[in-house]
Amino acid sequence: MKITVLMGSPNKKGSTSLLTGEFVRGAEEAGHTCEVIDVCHTDIHPCTGCVACGYEGPCVQKDDVRMIRAKLLASDMVVFATPLYYYGMSAQLKAVIDRFCAYNSSLNSRHLKSALLTVAWNADDWTFDALSAHYRTLVRYINFEDKGMVLGYGCGTPGMTKRSRYMQEAYQLGKNL
């Protein structure tokens, strides 16, 4: 299976990156190919809502979304990796997802598998409620097949994350695909 990971953390060596690395390690050990796209350090512009794409055509903006679109439409799975920022995904990852509107039907017809990897400093039981609801709604809307979520409670620093059970959970999610 060809897997594209949309890495939505501006911190290249942070907790989200650690979980992503473990997921990729597990998936590659299971025989899958993975490509991680660092959406925070690419040229991505927010959707303007102009609808020049007609919801299934080229976007008028000429940025790295064209590359992401091509990779997603050639993949079998997309993984959303993000730190929790104010109870949602990072703005950089959200900007990429908002631009799905220009190829919504193509994404929908692909029936991609999907997963969510996320971390937060907070460890309250409600910490991921909004993000997990957003992810489940996206999965339903775009006709993805959810393969799982790793919700890293109390992973505020890389050290905290390395000592958590979530590293193993991310690895197992990739390994068991």
CB atoms within 10 A of CB 29: 11
Indicate whether 33 pLDDT > 90: yes
Question: Band of the pLDDT at 130, cuts 50, 70, 90?
Answer: very high
Beta bridge partners, 142, equal none
Mean pLDDT over each residue of the chain, to the nearest integer: 96
Tokens 């992810």 found at? 135
Q: What average pLDDT does this structure show over 103-128?
A: 96
CB atoms within 10 A of CB 160: 16
Indicate whether 57 pLDDT > 90: no
pLDDT for the residue numbered 91 = 97
Q: What average pLDDT does this structure show over 54-79?
A: 95
- Three-state secondary structure call for residue 170: helix
Give the Cα separation of 58 and 173 in Å (integer).
Answer: 34
pLDDT for the residue numbered 94 = 98
pLDDT for the residue numbered 132 = 98
Domains delineated in the chain: 2-175 (3.40.50.360)
Question: Band of the pLDDT at 160, cuts 50, 70, 90?
Answer: very high
Q: What average pLDDT does this structure show over 86-93?
A: 96
Listed in sequence order, the residues at least 6 apart from 16 whose beta carbon sits closer than 8 Å to its beta carbon are 7, 8, 9, 81, 82, 83, 117, 118, 119
Give the Cα separation of 106 and 84 in Å (integer).
Answer: 28
In this prediction the pTM is 0.97
